[in-house]
Amino acid sequence: MKESPKKEETWFYKWFLNNQVTIVLLNIFVIFLVIFLFSKISFVFTPINRILGIVMPPVILALVLYYLINPLIDVLENKFNIKRVISIMFVFIIIFALLVWGIMSLIPFIQNQIDSLIQNWPQYWDSLNKSLQSMFKDPKLHVFRDNLASSNAKITKNFESAVNKILPQTFSGISSAVSTVTNVVIIILTAPFILFFMLKDKNKFKDSVVAFVPTKLRKSTGEMLTEMGQSLSSYITGQLTVAFWVAVMFFVGYLIIGQRYALVLGISAGILNLIPYVGSTLALIPSLIIGAFISPSMLIKVIIVFAVEQTIETRVISPIIVGNKMQMHPVTTILVLLVSAGMFGLFGMIAGIPVFAILKIICTRIFRWVKRNSHWYEDETDPNSDEPQKDINESKKIHE
C-alpha cells in the first residue's frame, strides 16, 4: 500500500501555528489581558484589601519575632530535651521580664533625653545657620550664602505653615489618633498569640500550604517554601543583629567623646540602619548638628566615631553576621532600593530586598522548570544520534 504524500506545511502554519515564540507571546498577551480585566473590577477586591490591612500587621510582626526566637526554641528542644511548649513559655517569660525592666528603667531616661533634644533643637539649628553664614561671608561665596538664606527661609516658612495647619486640626483628629492608638494596641496584643502558635506548630503551617498543591508539585513547593523561609530568616536576623551592634557602637562612641544625647542618637542610628546603605548616614545628621553647636572639635570627633563605626560594621560585623546570604550583587541591591523607595517610600526601602529575594526564588524555580521541560536549552549533539531524545525522556520520567 502506497503512503500518501506528506502535505507541505504553509508559511502561516510554520510561523504562527507551530512557532514557540508566537505561543509565548500569546501567553504573555493573555496574562496582561487578565491583569487589565482585574484592574477594571478592582472594587471587588476592596473588602479583601481591608481584611489584609487588619490581619497582616500582627502577622508580619509575629513573623519577624518568629525568625528571631525560633532558633533559640530549637536549641532548647533539641539539645536540652525541653518540651517545645515549655521552651516557648520560658522564652516568653524572659522577654516579658526584659520588656518590664526596659520600661521601668530605660524609657524614663530616653524620654528625658528626647524632651531635652526637642526643646534645644531650635537653638542648635539657629547656631548651625549662623556658623554657616559666617563661613560664607566671603564675597566670592555670595551665591552659596543666598541659597542658604533662601533654603532656611523656606524651611522656616514650611514649618510654620505645617504647625498652623496641625493646630486647628488637633481636636478634629482626636478620633483618628485614638483609632491609630487602638490599632497599635490590638497589633501588640494579638501578635504574641499568633507567634505562640507559629512556634508551636511550625511544621504544620508548611504542610497545610503544601496540601493544596497538586501531588506532583508538592515536593518542589515544599523545597521552595523552605528556601524562602531560610532566606527571610537570614535577612531578618542578620539586619536586626547588625542594627543592635550599630546602636551599641554609636552609643559607646558618643559616650567616649562626650556627645550629648548619646543614648537617643545611638538608638536612632540602630533603627535607621534597617534602611540599607543610607540609614547610618541619616542618623549622623542630627549628631553633626549637635556637635557643630558644641564646638568644631566635637564635630570632628563625631565624624571620627562615624568612620570607626562604618569600618567595623562593613569589615567585621556585616561579613560575619550577614555575609552574602541573600546572594545579591551590590548593583542589584542599589537598583532594588531605588525602585522600591520610589514606589513605596520608606516601607519599600525596608521591605524591598526581602521581597525581591522571594520573587527571585520563585522566578528561579520557574526558570528551572521551563529549562527542564522545554527544548530551548538542549545541548547540541549529533543530529543523527538519538541521545537527545533519550535525555528528554529520562528528564520527563524523573519529573513525573
Amino acid at 314: T
Amino acid at 209: V
CA distances in angstroms from 9 to 3, 12, 13, listed in the order given: 17, 8, 6
Q: Is 104 helix (H, G, I), strand (E, B) or coil?
A: helix
Q: What is the pTM of this model?
A: 0.70
Query: Percentages helix, strand, coil for the chain, rounded to the nearest 5?
Result: 85, 0, 15
Most confident range, picked from 46-50, 186-190, 275-279? 186-190
The whole-number pLDDT of residue 396 equals: 47
Q: What's the gap between Cα 287 and its chain centre?
A: 26
pLDDT tens for 326-347 read: 667 777 878 888 888 888 887 8
Instruction: Give the Cα separation of 7 and 16 in Å (integer).
Output: 17
Instruction: Give the Cα separation of 128 and 316 in Å (integer).
Output: 35
Amino acid at 128: L
What secondary structure does DSSP assign to 240-308, as a single string? HHHHHHHHHHHHHHHHHHT-TTHHHHHHHHHHHTTSTTTHHHHHHHHHHHHHHHH-HHHHHHHHHHHHH
Q: What's the gap between Cα 248 and its chain centre?
A: 22
Confidence tier at 23 by pLDDT (50, 70, 90): confident
The whole-number pLDDT of residue 387 equals: 45
- Return the higher-pLDDT residue of 308 and 212: 308
Average pLDDT over residues 211-216: 84
CA distances in angstroms from 256 to 106, 112, 115, 283, 324, listed in the order given: 20, 20, 23, 18, 33
Q: Tell me the backbone φ, ψ of residue 87, rounded to 5 degrees.
A: -65, -40
What would the grid cell of residue 230 be?
531560610
The whole-number pLDDT of residue 230 equals: 85
Most confident range, picked from 86-90, 150-154, 210-214? 86-90
- Return the higher-pLDDT residue of 350 and 62: 62
pLDDT tens for 232-241 read: 888 888 888 8
Residue with cell 553664614: 133
Whose CA is closest to 301, among 312, 292, 314, 310?
A: 292
C-alpha count within 13 angstroms, C-beta hemisphere, residue 46: 5
- Return the higher-pLDDT residue of 20 and 398: 20
The whole-number pLDDT of residue 167 equals: 46
List the single range of 101-110, 122-131, 180-189, 245-254 with lowest mean pLDDT: 122-131
The whole-number pLDDT of residue 252 equals: 94
Residue with cell 533539641: 78
**% of the chain exceeding 70 in pLDDT:** 74
